[in-house]
Every structure is written in C-alpha cells, then in structure tokens.
Amino acid sequence: MRETLLKLSPVPQPTILQTLTINGKLVYQANALEIVFQKDAFDRRRVLDRDDHDPKPEFIFKVANGFLAKLRSITQGSDVKLLGEQNALWRLEYLTDAQEELPHDPELFRETSGFGIHGSLTVVNKVFLTMNVGTTYPIFDTLPGTQVI
C-alpha cells in the first residue's frame, strides 16, 4: 500500500481525450483530485495524534466533497462519489511556497496519508429464507455443502 501512496502525484502531462470537447476545448480523463492548502505555517509536530494533524483529515474531506458534490450536480455524473477515510486512498504532502520538498526535520513530518477498506458480508441460509420470505429457493438444494442449520 505504501508504494501506491507514493505514486499519488500529479501527472506531468494528463492524457487528453481527442474524441471529446467541452465548449470547444479538449478534455482529459482524471481519477485523482489535487487540492492545495495554503497557510503561513502548518502544525506538523510528530507528537500530534492523527486527528490533530493540520489540516485535519475531516476538513480535507469536507473540502474535497464540497467540490465533488458540485461536480456531480453540475455534470449529473452519478459515477462521481464522495470520499471519506473509509473509502479513499489519500496523501497529504507539505511543500514550500515554491512547491518543493521541505527540508528534513526530525521533529516534524513532511507528509501523512491514509486509506480505508470497507467490506460487508450478508449470510443467508435456506431456513432464514423460508422463515422470512415464506417460500423456498431450489438453488439452495443444488449448492454443494449446503445444509439446513
């Protein structure tokens, strides 16, 4: 996962879609969002708890989702999804005003990142379906290893 996080960087030259224009201008396909936060100084002390990072992850997702919600509404893009710490791969990199890497300081971090994995599982068996639906499903009789509990 760390290798993937390190690859989260702006591409030097996005791939332009030659077959699509908007208002007469060529467009490119994107699957990442870059947001630049500017401030005189960020609190980057290593002793901070993740919830106290500056800016806080909650604020970062609020800004990103504000943009994505407007984009989804304007474009009617049902495939534009809101982000959260449980469904996003993200990296926050602190740079100088010239957009260059900060010098190393053992007391301060220069980047933070996160990813979330969410999964769910619903298990049903023949007894449950019979009790709650009032019918049986023949497919359960043919599945190997199926048994009534």
97 burial via Cβ count (<10 Å: 0-12, 13-18, 19+): exposed
Cα 123 to the chain's mean position, in Å?
Answer: 27
Read off the pLDDT of residues 104-129 as tens digits, 9 standing for 90 and up: 999 998 988 887 776 777 776 666 66
Read off the pLDDT of residues 65-83 as tens digits, 9 standing for 90 and up: 999 999 899 889 888 889 8
89 pLDDT higher than 60: yes
Domain ranges of the chain: 2-115, 121-149
pTM over cut 0.75:
no
100 φ/ψ angles, rounded to the nearest 5 degrees: -110, 160
